[in-house]
Amino acid sequence: MNYGLTVKHHRGGKRLELQCSHHNGLLYVVPAEGSWVCGEEHVHAHALAGFFKELAALRDPRVKELMRRWGLSFRERPLEQEATGAAPSLPEQSR
């Protein structure tokens, strides 16, 4: 079961298919300035987490209202390496 969210590799990036009986859309995630540090397999998660982190930091009432309207909230969590004390790893192409 995919719960209406499917992630597919798509020409140098990822395509997230978002579908329910009321909405159907595609979100494309491609390598960009903010996501160079993450490997290809996680670039979509990296881009979305970074985007929502920066969007929430704007503290714009319009953004807050839109997120409330759609039942979305974002809270940054500690990275696994911060919790374990391990050094962060770089993607294969950066090594």
* Cα–Cα distance measured from residue 30 to residue 13, given in angstroms and rounded to the nearest whole number: 4
- % of the chain at pLDDT higher than 70: 88
Q: How far is CA 83 from CA 9, 49, 79, 89, in A?
A: 30, 18, 6, 14
Tell me whether residue 13 is in a domain. Answer: yes
Tell me whether residue 91 is in a domain. Answer: no
Tell me whether residue 59 is in a domain. Answer: yes
Cα 33 from chain centroid? Answer: 14
Per residue in 47-86, pLDDT tens? 999 999 999 999 999 999 999 999 999 999 999 887 677 6
Residue predicted with more confidence, 33 or 1? 33
Q: Which domain holds residue 72?
A: 5-86
Q: How many domains does the chain have?
A: 1
Tell me whether residue 92 is in a domain. Answer: no
Structural contact between residues 91 and 38, judged by C-beta atoms closer than 8 angstroms: yes
Cβ neighbours for 26, distance < 8 A, ≥ 6 positions apart: 15, 16, 17, 18
